[in-house]
Structure formats: structure tokens, C-alpha cells
Amino acid sequence: MKITEFAKKEITGWKSYEVFIIIFAFLLIIYNAIVLHDSVIAVCSAFFGILYTIIAGKGKISCYFFGLMGSGCYVYLSAFSHLWGNALLYLAYYIPMQIHGIFAWKSNLNNDFEIKKTGMTGKQKLKFLVTGILGSILTALILYFMNDKNPVIDGITTFLSILGMYCTVKRFLEQWIIWIIVNGLSFFMWLNLIIHGTKAYSTLVMWGVYFVLAIYFYEIWKKELINNNNSEIETVSQ
């Protein structure tokens, strides 16, 4: 496939309100940078992170290139704010998994160069629920003894993000439920840091946008899976 053909496929299929969300978020981030003198790293992290999330939601493989750049910025930002769980998560897990995700998604693309979505079985859902609860408790305890500023929320978001990234690479619909929880908790974690003096307003915007996008793409993916399943049933009946 030629680069020009790939690029054309990546920028097609966007809805007007998806473009609006990106433009609105970027304008808000630019406002934070100019008026509120936000951190340059926070601004870059937010730019790349929002692009990654919305392009991943569209099922386009180019999301991982923005994800890698955003993850690098977020590692620095988290370490500077003493959120060791988030810093280690992105450095040791997110970045390697995003590189793996490029190859995993490449072999599961449809004719429109978008990934083929899947859903978990009942057994998988139960397994992830139990693992998520136990893993979050253990991670929170570890971060408590590491003098993390917010061990409970940082612990939950850190471990659930591990599960969420795995589900993203596996193309599971249920990843968006995990991201709704992670993004909501992360929003309040960074809000608390900003209240206590950390200049990372764009990071707060980023998590807020992530939260909205997770809800939006959960509905989009669910509808697509239902339509695909109905089409398969109709094909078999014929």
C-alpha cells in the first residue's frame, strides 16, 4: 500500500462533530498555554493524547504514532508531579504495548483500513472484573509505601490502564468501559494537583476530553458490533 493511499484512508470517514471536538479541545489547550502559562510538556501531552484517543476510537492504526509521542510527554509530567504509578505505567508498559499494537492492528484491518472490532465473552468479563479489583488494591498498597501523592486513585488508574491497554490492542469493545473509569478518576486526580499548585491545566482538559470520547466511542463500537452480528446472522440464514 502506498503512503498516499494510507494517508487518504486515515483522514476519511470523520464526522463533523468529531472534528468539532478536536478543534474545541485544541483551542482550549492553546488558551491554557497562552493565558494561564501552562507547562509546555502538558500542552504537548494533551495535543498528542487527544489525537491518539480519537483516532484510536476511529479504529485507525495511525493512532499509535501520536500515542507514542503523547506517552513520552506524560512520563515526564507524571514523574515531575510524583505520580510514580502513572510514570512507570507509561514508560514500562504503554510505550512497548503501543509499538506492539501497531503490528497487532496491522493484521486485523478491514477494507477501509479500520480495525475489526471484537467483544469479550462472559467468562472474560468476569476474569477482568476480578483481576481489576485485586490488582488495583495491590497497586494502591505498593504506591502508598512509595509515598505517592494519591496512592488510591493512582493505583486504580495505573492497574486499570494496564488492562485497558491490553483490551485496546485486542480490539475489545469493553476497553471503553475501563477507559471511562480511568479517565474520570484521572480527571479528579489532576484537578486536585492543580488546586494545590501544579500547572497542568491542559492535562486536566485532556482527561476531560478522554472521558467524553470514551463514552462516545463505547456507543459507536457497540452499535457497529451489533450491526455486524446482525449481518452475519442474515448471511447464515440465507
Per-residue pLDDT of 12-33, as tens digits, reads 777 888 888 888 888 988 888 8
* pLDDT at 236 (0 to 100): 41
* pLDDT at 6 (0 to 100): 63
Evaluate if residue 51 carries a pLDDT over 70: yes
Band of pLDDT at residue 231, cut at 50, 70 and 90: low
Check residue 62 and report its DSSP letter.
Answer: T
Range in 68-72, 82-86, 103-107, 149-153 the model is least confident about: 82-86
The partner residues of 109 in beta bridges, in order of sequence, read: 115
* pLDDT at 220 (0 to 100): 93
Helical (H) or strand (E) element with 25: helix 16-34
Amino acid at 208: G
pTM across the whole model? 0.84
* pLDDT at 8 (0 to 100): 66
Cα separation of 180 and 186, whole Å?
10
Place of cell 503523547: 70
Separation of CA 61 from chain center? 14
* pLDDT at 230 (0 to 100): 65
Cα separation of 86 and 64, whole Å?
19
The partner residues of 115 in beta bridges, in order of sequence, read: 109
Cα separation of 79 and 91, whole Å?
10
Evaluate if residue 87 carries a pLDDT over 90: no
pLDDT digits (tens, 9 = 90+) for 194-222: 888 877 788 888 899 999 999 999 999 99
Angle, CA of 152, 170 and 164, to the nearest 5°: 10
Q: Taking Cα atoms as reference points, which of 28, 24, 23, 18 lies closest to residue 202?
A: 28
3-state secondary structure of 115: strand
Give residues with Cβ within 8 angstroms of 128, minimum separation 6: 120, 163, 167, 174
Residue 83 or 169, more confident: 169
3-state secondary structure of 146: coil
The CA dihedral of 201, 158, 164, 71, to the nearest 10 degrees, is 50
**Residue 129 is placed in which grid cell?**
472484573
Band of pLDDT at residue 95, cut at 50, 70 and 90: very high
